Structure 1
């Protein structure tokens, strides 16, 4: 009987279910959870998230006719080998030892993995590739614009290209010992921390200079030079019409004519400053810590008593008044664009333009809402990360997306295209919503996975394809290794026991029974 091919494209998805997020290159990273009322623009078409397929291949939940274009291959010997191809789609995937090794090709794109130690993605679009080593410990990313190596956020080498093949503004950082690079304004720099060196246009300052720091170090920022001797105890400040000195924490003062003046005595117990003297909003501040502090300017008045517990603020620029009866437990805010009531731990409610946040029995239940004419988001959390349900909608076209996780039990997602996915367990998904977790780690612990669409097509995997099942329209395929496998299409049925020790095939009125893996058997029926 000829090989049943109508399942091939769909069955390829089941290979991926053992590695569910090793998706086709088009699969997007999981959406980040915006915590602030800043609104993301609606993803433009086709920047809208590509539907998360019922498996890691792009073939998942597709019309059955796709597989008929060209014959594919499925070979499984759980848990050693799982190999699937679909020449019609330019797809192949080889998995070894369950989710440990992965070699996947989709067109000109390639994914290679030795989980969790190594994961490499090569993308033909943009000639980009990325390699991760024990994510997130180290990675290497190469794009037409940059080439970056990074280890534990401490060692980093980056080169930025203005044109193809040209390297510009390269930097090397090995914190806290070595920094080098090239500033467009000040040229090359190098620092061997803390012994000697210079740093330009990095770390929020124009210049850093050091010799045996903390014995000596200096910074330059916007024309102001600060020199430190035995940091942080002695320092001087100089600039155009600007002077100052500090003997920390005993006494310090600095001023710039017509711009600011600052002073402290026995820091932090007494501080005073006047800033913005050359603006329309000069601000005067004084603090007698922790008893009293004040802020006065044309746009704002603030008082604090026994900081930070009691006080009030009248912000005339932002048009709101805040009263701290016993911060952070009892506070109120009233204004044109913000109103809030806080009675922690019982209840807190904060309303701003297009954004609303509510706490019930803090930190038990938190609800956030962000609604605008371009993007809506509703998010519920229980005990911060124990349970998180995030729902998003783009009103322009009505598309929606959802992600629900409950630690450590499950993760549920639904894409804008209506493809849903459920997996168990989920030890970090409610805390870390990262593509690197999905690619490098999650396939190792997901014992059960299921994906389905709104048309009833589905794919299921248990124990990295020890058992798998796929339904696409009237067609069905499943396998429980090594006991039984079954394929049913609109034209034929194929049942095998013990990987073909006993095989029974039906095609129309023709039937065939074969034993002991023989390529021939007893046939009956038909004409």
Structure 2
């Protein structure tokens, strides 16, 4: 009896405090993370909480995949819920709340201190305020006004599609029984439409367009402010025949979209099109792209700083893209492989590779990440991975500078290494901690939920440590070493 009480007292005294590592995944995990932060997980990773330091401010918490809230500081907060449908994002000058497909609310504070807001939601209701104090309202199809939508300055409607009024650059159009009847006027514009019978639209110095029995007969002249030799004209008797001309350029279509031919003797431009099987386009001295297509076997596009080649469309694609500050090379074999290599002008690089469903990896100047399997067939989407990848990722490894982090399925294996310490743990069974003290390598080991623990150091005898249930019991506050942490095999390893 006395022995039992003594054992119980010994074990009770050995229970881990709230300021120590506790790793009993998948039930519960509390660990010191690389860089000196603190992370708590429960239910295999469904619940997660992250602090910037032990007992410090919470920077992230959530119950995945229901929601995940992050607070990086500087007045910025973000909550993602039912990803990718829900989002609440708050910054010092903007707030955005969204739940697709039901609605979105946005509020902004401008540089002059004025505030604007807008709301769009089901059932097709829209409200918005503007810096001058005006508020517009719309409820489709009943009535309302919308401003700065698409290319229009203003849209008014009542019992849509019975009546709608649009305004753009001073031009006003009245629509009745949209799209059947329209009347256009103002700022050099005039026009009418009785669709599909006939219609005419004219904008002074810009275009003049007619149609009859749409889409069968149409005629238009564009760029009317230019000299006659640079204006463009087009007409067609759909789908049988169509012609377009602009200066020395001319194009012909027969049985659109199947047969087409275009040329410009001045620039040497040529294009032949037997859609969708064959297309040959040679730009000559023009700025047009160079295209060759033998669909679906092979095609190639060269232009606008990009070269794209397809084999057995839509399965294999290779792309080379050139921008002002970086270049990008990509290879995709749908759906099994995605590879991407970015080179920046400052010398930085980033390589991303995904072999579905086996693994995905990222390697670059700022660090690397590897995980397997990669069950999502979608290309790299950090938002979805934050919420769902913990459900299927068997192993993940991330390196950033001197920080190394590893995690297995359900969090059963964890490794958190930085310049000060290297901590590894297999839930309940085994844990090890390596660090340096007074220039000497020190190793601490924990077995069987923290019941058996010892410490060894170079030049010192083995030291038994008190139990710390449920283990491993290392303090959350990391040792600040005088030199870099040394892991096994990295140099002066401690004795076993």
TM-score band (shorter)?
0.7 to 0.9
List gaps (5 residues or longer) in structure 2.
Answer: 1-18, 470-496
Counterpart check, 1:230 vs 2:180 = no
C-alpha separation in 2, matches of 1:259 and 1:491: 79
Judged with a 3 Å threshold, the aligned counterparts in structure 2 of structure 1 residues 100 and 284 are, in CA distance, closer, same or farther, namely: same
Moved more, 263-272 or 507-516: 507-516
Question: What are the residue-to-residue correspondences of 1:199-348 with 2, within 5 Å?
Answer: 199-256=146-203, 259-280=206-227, 281-298=230-247, 300-314=249-263, 321-335=269-283, 336=285, 337=287, 338-348=289-299
Question: What are the residue-to-residue correspondences of 1:168-187 with 2, within 5 Å?
Answer: 168-174=115-121, 177-183=124-130, 187=134
The Cα shift of 1:90 comes to 6.0
C-alpha separation in 1, matches of 2:210 and 2:304: 39
The Cα shift of 1:168 comes to 2.0
- 1:26-61 CA-to-partner distances (Å, cap 9, x unmatched) read xxxxxxxxxxxxxxxxxxxxxxxxxxxxxxxxxxxx
Counterpart check, 1:363 vs 2:314 = yes
List gaps (5 residues or longer) in structure 1.
Answer: 1-71, 519-527
Question: What are the residue-to-residue correspondences of 1:327-406 with 2, within 5 Å?
Answer: 327-335=275-283, 336=285, 337=287, 338-352=289-303, 354-371=305-322, 374-383=325-334, 385-394=335-344, 396-406=345-355
Match of 2:487 in 1: none
Counterpart check, 1:129 vs 2:77 = yes
- 1:255-275 CA-to-partner distances (Å, cap 9, x unmatched) read 345543222111111111122
The Cα shift of 1:116 comes to 0.9
From the CA coordinates, give the structure whose radius of gyration is larger: 2
The Cα shift of 1:514 comes to 7.1
Judged with a 3 Å threshold, the aligned counterparts in structure 2 of structure 1 residues 220 and 514 are, in CA distance, closer, same or farther, namely: closer
The Cα shift of 1:104 comes to 1.1
SS at match of 1:431: coil
C-alpha separation in 2, matches of 1:283 and 1:432: 42
C-alpha separation in 2, matches of 1:504 and 1:90: 23
Match of 1:407 in 2: 356
- 1:501-527 CA-to-partner distances (Å, cap 9, x unmatched) read 333443344224579769xxxxxxxxx
Number of matched pairs:
438
Match of 1:60 in 2: none
C-alpha separation in 1, matches of 2:232 and 2:133: 34
The Cα shift of 1:311 comes to 1.1
The Cα shift of 1:182 comes to 2.9
Query: Is the Cα–Cα contact under 8 Å of residues 23 and 425 in structure 2 kept in the other structure?
Result: no
The Cα shift of 1:322 comes to 4.2
Match of 1:46 in 2: none
Work out which structure has the larger RCO, using CA pairs closer than 8 Å and 6 or more positions apart in sequence: 1
SS at match of 1:199: strand
The Cα shift of 1:404 comes to 0.6
Judged with a 3 Å threshold, the aligned counterparts in structure 2 of structure 1 residues 146 and 315 are, in CA distance, closer, same or farther, namely: farther
The Cα shift of 1:360 comes to 1.8
Counterpart check, 1:439 vs 2:386 = yes
Query: Is the Cα–Cα contact under 8 Å of residues 322 and 331 in structure 1 kept in the other structure?
Result: no
Query: Is the Cα–Cα contact under 8 Å of residues 389 and 402 in structure 1 kept in the other structure?
Result: yes
SS at match of 2:383: helix
Structure with higher strand content = 2
The Cα shift of 1:91 comes to 2.3
Query: Is the Cα–Cα contact under 8 Å of residues 171 and 185 in structure 2 kept in the other structure?
Result: yes
C-alpha separation in 2, matches of 1:475 and 1:261: 75
The TM-score, its normalising length taken from structure 2, stands at 0.79
Query: Is the Cα–Cα contact under 8 Å of residues 154 and 166 in structure 2 kept in the other structure?
Result: yes
